[in-house]
Amino acid sequence: MKKFGRSKAGAVDCNEDEADETGETDERAGTGTPNPGAVVDADGLRVDTETVLSAGIQDISNTLVEDFKLNDVLRIILDTMYRAIGFRPVLLCIRDARSNTMQGRFGLGPDVPELARKFHFPLSFTPDIFHAAISKGADILISDVNDPKIADRIPGWFRDSVQASTFVLLPLTIKQKPVALIYADKDHAGEIVISERELSLLKTLRNQAVLAIKQAS
């Protein structure tokens, strides 16, 4: 993954790995401290991240072999990410073919309906991080939106609408074409820390979302 952003220690890490087995190019922000593998939920209880992600993956696998409603599967995926990582919101954006835009649809977290209305951006080329994600099928983690090495690639509509300093983009592509995007964030720079194992599980969830869309179409 490419890494963009300033860690809590103040260092900037910019690395690029080779594409993975699916042919995707991944991008990731610099992380601050080693991931403890657990988050604290809304009730103040510690949640083991890998356990929640793995359980969600199993639930979705079971659902996909039966009759299912697409939105139900997508909501389970978003809920799993939301609880496991402790994101502030998780939002699903869907491609609108008529307007050639990506638009926020639904999600979990504070003020998500308002956030969904604000998420509306063109799929035509723009030199920003959102276009990089959807055009390359690249998973991106921005650790600090104000880091000088990435700040000019954060679009104005995002800065005007969203207060988060760190966020994740997980694009959903079918036949190299973007069909949807999962967005998730936290308030403070460097607050999102994802281990390689957790990243692998998040990719599996994203791929299950792609599979569900394929099966439902």
Give me the DSSP letters along 153-187: GS-HHHHHH---SEEEEEEEEETTEEEEEEEEEES
* Helix segments in 110-163, DSSP class H: 112-118, 129-136, 156-161
Q: What per-residue confidence (pLDDT) applies to 101? A: 97
201/86 Cα distance (integer angstroms)? 15
pTM metric for this prediction? 0.83
Question: What value does the mean pLDDT take over residues 168-173?
Answer: 98
Domains with residue ranges and CATH for the chain: 38-216 (3.30.450.40)
DSSP conformational letter for 14:
-
> pLDDT digits over 41-79, tens only?
555 556 799 999 999 999 999 999 999 999 999 999 999
Helix (H, G, I), strand (E, B) or coil at 145: coil
Kind and range of the H or E run holding 199: helix 196-216
